[in-house]
Structure formats: structure tokens, C-alpha cells
Structure 1
């Protein structure tokens, strides 16, 4: 059970609960022991996802909170909305959105890969390649957001390619095979089926944000625009721990000449990646990159990311 008093939330542990976890604890990385009720302070108007751990540190939901989080991966997180929480819902299109499903035999991975394509009703001015495509398609409803903004005259028509990984951690972690798959297999296949566009861009959340920023750094002439959401910037090719590695990619951008790139970046204020994303945004400002950086009073979740879709599309593809 929880009680909300302004910015303070008191968590009352059920009988078998031994720890409290959420975005504010890096989930299982820094669980908070629960000898009894505990009160925590959050930003004004925050959206909070949380769960409990038992004695074996197995997660389970709060039995007294029926408000399930918008989480496509786990069923146990529950949500709390503090007073003043006022998310801006993305616009909805007036017409049905058509998405075509494709399969591609990848030589880079030696396996079939799947991807979806949203093609706008007008000739596309850009193609946006999206990592973790199924979640962005089904949970975030990115194609619907893009078509609604197009109907409102707020963006140019864009094609969206939803790429789906098999093992997102290994593929997105500075993996040259994934780089080959995107540049030498996915892009040519899409352009052969739908035609090329004047621009190509990248979008991803968490590790998907990391690989977007990495691919753009390596190929700025191919992907001049990108959007990152809660990018996992605590990662290094020589490391392997996204919580303790140095911020390697930020260092590479800092040491490189300013590239012809345009960034939309955002993160939640309740997640362990807040400070690394702030430092990345400061680096972009110092080096003169055109960019828009936003923070939201929420965490590493789809409530945060879905609110950022329309602003990202407007900034990168606005009329």
C-alpha cells in the first residue's frame, strides 16, 4: 500500500516484502531495505513505477495497488501519479495507419530478422530507423503519432522502419555486426522496396539510444539526425556493465570535431542515467551541436518515452 502527501510517498510493505525497487533504485541494483514503512520524496508531478522484492529478491507487485505500469517487459511494476502529474498525450490520427511486415535473411547474423515499415500517404522526406521496433510500434504507437502530426501539418512526411533485435544487449553494445546489418542489409532492403529518401535518421531508448548515438557518430553522413531517450551512455566497448562503465561515447564525441548532426535527447529525473544524459547534453552545448534536451519527472519507462515522441518528431522533421 502507498500513501501520497504532496511530493512524499509512504510505502507500506506487504508481509513478504523485504525490499523496495523502482527506477529510483536502478531497479535491482540498489534495492531499499524495508524493516517497515518508508517515506521518499520525488519531483513535483512525478510518475513513479515500483515493485517489492521478497527474501530471495524475487520481484512481485504491490497487492494493494491495481494501477499497472505501462511496461512491455515486466508484469509486476505498479504506478503512482503524484499531484500535478499532467502528461501530454500524443495526438491520434484520423485515418487508419498501415504498417507492412517484412523478413530479411541477415548474413551478418546468419538468421532471419523481422522489421515493420510505416510509409506515409505522401512521399517521404526522411526515413527514421527505430531500434526496439516492436515496442515502439505496439507500446508507444509511434506510427500513429507520426501520421497524426503529418495530418496536423506539423512535420514533413517520414517513413518509419521498426527494427527488432534478437538479443538487444549484445547487438546494441557497439557491435560491428549490428552496424553491418543496419547499413548493408536493412537500409538497402528498405530502399529497394520503398525507394530512397533525402534523409535518414535514428531513434532509440536506453541501449537503443546508445546504439543510435554510436551509429550517428560513426556515420554522420548517413544519419544526420537522431533522437535518444534515456540513452544508456554508461557503456564502453571494453567494459560490459551499463552501471559502472565510463561514459565512453560522450568522450568520443568530446574529442572528435563537431559533426554535421542534429540531436533530440531526453531522460527521466528518476533514473540512474540522468547525470550521464545531462553531461552528454552539456557536451553537445559546449561543442555547438544543434540539439534539444528535455527532462521529465518520471523514470526509465514508456510513460517517459511516449511523451517525447511528438516533440522529437517536430524538432527533427518539423515543417
Structure 2
């Protein structure tokens, strides 16, 4: 006997009612990435499993189901009763959209001329590798012309899962920003090591990757760095390691771990290194020149406390900080939805 429910979860203003009928399973649990607990068991009645889940402080919910067979074997899968999905680097997740949710309007722009995207190999002795970066250039721009440069950690993922290139095309087409280029840096297999306040990576970025990139993307303007999660941490860390590297920072759901907020992350291999660096950001001694900075974070994610604290600390130290707390969590759609309008405002502030 397979799944019999033909419609997805019942979504109301303040609760989601899940129901799955499947005689092949002995247990069903909801898995999500909001505040803990992140695994919630369904109640079983015969072959039917139900769960009433109170609405979190969010307008969207991405989730998976953990299905357990009589043998004890488990399978983690999207909800077979819910056709709404969100893509991601680790596969699709099911999505709940509450009545207040609306995607950004710029997604509707199908007419903006598409920029050119090409691969640019960036050699790094410090990383002992050639980084296969992507370079986006605004439509109909001269490759020899110096233009502003946006540098994006997890760049290909931003393009694939957060529609970043569509937004860049839109901003230039509508005259919301000057023409510019974007360097999309892939994280590679050592992402957790390189993006976790790594001096080796920060030095490679400043002294090898960016000088090499400028051979393909001439620029006479201050850089803007964009990153999410550990990519946001790596962006601000690179700016601190090489003062003046960036003219602006756009940091989304940064992994700005502190022991007082993030003891649950203590098992992360580079937790101590991250907390040491972030702690220095709170010190009296300035670590880097203040630059215009945007910090966004989801209202339902565990990084919210450390992002709010860092934004306050930077503001107290003279940094011009803009914050946006998005009613979502730690995922690529949330980062997409939190880009505008503060993204274009930052680019204009730095480049004009």
C-alpha cells in the first residue's frame, strides 16, 4: 500500500497539519533547519501519521520527512504529498508557503538582456589548486573597460539556487546600478575549512585570486564582497586580514559563532577558530577600516542572535550597517528573497 493522501499539508495562518498514510512505514518524523528541536515525530494511528506543527516565526518552511521501515531502515525524502519543492546543493526539499509569503517582484523580469558568463581559471599556490571561477559581465560591455567588481563566495550556488545572475541582469537593465562584473567563486570540497576564518584562504583571496581575476575583469573601483553562512564569515574575515580589501560587504546569515549564543555548534571542527576571530570583532581595537555593510538573517534560524549582536557591535564601532531580518530561515531561497532593495543600495553607495 502506497501513500494515499492526494494533497499536501493543510496550511493555516498559525499551524500546519501534516498527514501521511503509508502502511510501509513504522515511524515518520519532520526534519527542518529552524531553531531546535529539528526532528519532530508524527503521531501514528494505524497506517496514518499526523503532525500539527505551530507556525514558526517565518513565512516559508523548508523540510524533509524521515521515514522508518519495520526493519529499522530510514529514508530521508521530500514530502510525497507536497508538490512544492525548493532546490539546493544537497537535493530538493519540500516547501510550505504561508499566506503572507510573496516572492520578490524582480523574478518576474524576463526582458532584461542577459549578461555574458565565462569561466576564468584562477591559480593559487596557497590553495594548491586552480579555482574554476565564473565571471559575469553586464550585457554589451567592453571586456577591456574597467568596471566595478562584485566578488561572491559560493558564487555558482548563488547563481543556481538564488537566481543571482537574473537579479544582476535586472539591476543593470533597470538602471538601478551602474554596469559591473561579478566574480563567482566556487567553494570547492574544502569549503568548511577555507571559509571558517582561514588565514590561508584570506591571503589567497587577496594576493592571488583577486589579482588574477583583475586580468580578466579590469576594475578601478572598490570591491564588494557577498557571502552567505560561512561564505559571509569568510568575506568579513578577508576584509579584516587585508584592511581596505573591500569597499562594501553584503553578509547573509553569517556563521558569526560566539560561545554564548552558539554552544550547539561546538562540534564544528573550526568552531574555536571562528569564535576567536568573531570575538576580536567586538574588541576595542579596530581590526579594519569601517565599510558600508549589509547584514541579513532569517527570523527563524539559529544564527539570528549572533548576526544581531555583530551588527550592533559593528555599529557601535562606527561601521555604517544596514540590517534586514527576513521571515525565513537558513536556505538559498531566503537569501534570494533578502537581497533587494538593500543589495542595489549598497552597490550604489560603494560605486557612485
TM-score scaled to structure 2, two decimals?
0.80
Alignment equivalent of 1:251, drawn from 276, 279, 287: 279
In structure 2, which of residues 98, 104, 107 is the aligned counterpart of residue 82 of structure 1? Answer: 98
1:260 offset after TM fit, Å?
Answer: 2.2
Counterparts of 1:71 and 1:297, CA distance in 2: 19
Q: Partners of 1:200 and 1:100 in 2: how far apart?
A: 20
For structure 2, list consecutive stretches of 5 or more residues without a partner in the other structure: 1-7, 45-49, 260-265
Structure 1 distance, partners of 2:103, 2:256, is 26
CA distance in 2, matches of 1:242, 1:262: 31
Whole-angstrom CA distance in 2 between matches of 1:291 and 1:254: 15
Q: Does 1:211 align with 2:211?
A: no
- 1:43 Cα deviation from its structure 2 partner: 5.0
Equivalent-residue separation in structure 2 for 1:262 and 1:100 (angstroms): 29
- Indicate yes or no: 2:31 matched with 1:21: yes
Q: Deviations over 1:175-204 (max 9, x none)?
A: 222123211221111112232322112111
Q: How far is 1:64 from its partner?
A: 0.6
**Cα 1:21–1:265, aligned 2, differ >3 Å: closer, same or farther?**
same
Question: For residues 226-246 of structure 1, what are the alpha-carbon distances to aligned partners after superposition, in whole Å with 9 as ceiling and x for unaligned?
Answer: 11111111279xx66289768
Residues 25 and 45 of structure 1, relative CA distance in 2, 3 Å threshold: closer
Instruction: For residues 289-315 of structure 1, give each alpha carbon's deviation from its aligned partner in whole angstroms, at most 9, with x where no partner exists.
Output: 211111111111121111223324312
The question of whether the paired residues in 2 share the 8 Å contact of 1:155 and 1:313 is answered with: no
1:1-319 maps to which residues of 2 (within 5 A)?
1-13=8-20, 15=22, 16=25, 17-25=27-35, 30-36=38-44, 37-42=50-55, 46-55=59-68, 58-75=75-92, 77-90=93-106, 92=109, 94-120=112-138, 121=141, 123=145, 125-166=147-188, 167-234=190-257, 241=268, 247-255=275-283, 256-257=285-286, 259-318=289-348
Q: Give yes or no for contact 2:196–2:270 (8 Å, CA) kept in 1.
A: no
**TM-superposition CA deviations, 1:78-133 (whole Å, max 9, x none):** 00111111122335352122111112332112222200111232755521111111
Structure 1 residues 299 and 45, CA gap change in structure 2 (3 angstroms): closer
Cα distance in 2 between the residues matched to 1:51 and 1:243:
27
Q: How far apart are the structure 2 equivalents of 1:156 and 1:127?
A: 11
Distance in 2 (alpha carbons) for counterparts of 1:290 and 1:124:
27
**Alignment RMSD (CA, Å):** 2.6
Shift of 1:285: 2.8
Counterpart CA distance in 1 for 2:241 and 2:207 is: 14
Check 1:241–1:220 CA distance in 2 against 1; reply closer, same or farther (3 A cut): same
The count of aligned residue pairs is: 314
Are 2:251 and 2:296, in contact at CA under 8 Å, matched by a contact in 1? yes
Flag the 1:111–1:22 CA change in 2: closer, same or farther, 3 A.
Answer: same
**Structure 1: runs of 5 or more not aligned:** none
Q: Does the C-alpha gap of structure 1 residues 57 and 181 become closer, same or farther in structure 2, counting only changes over 3 Å?
A: farther
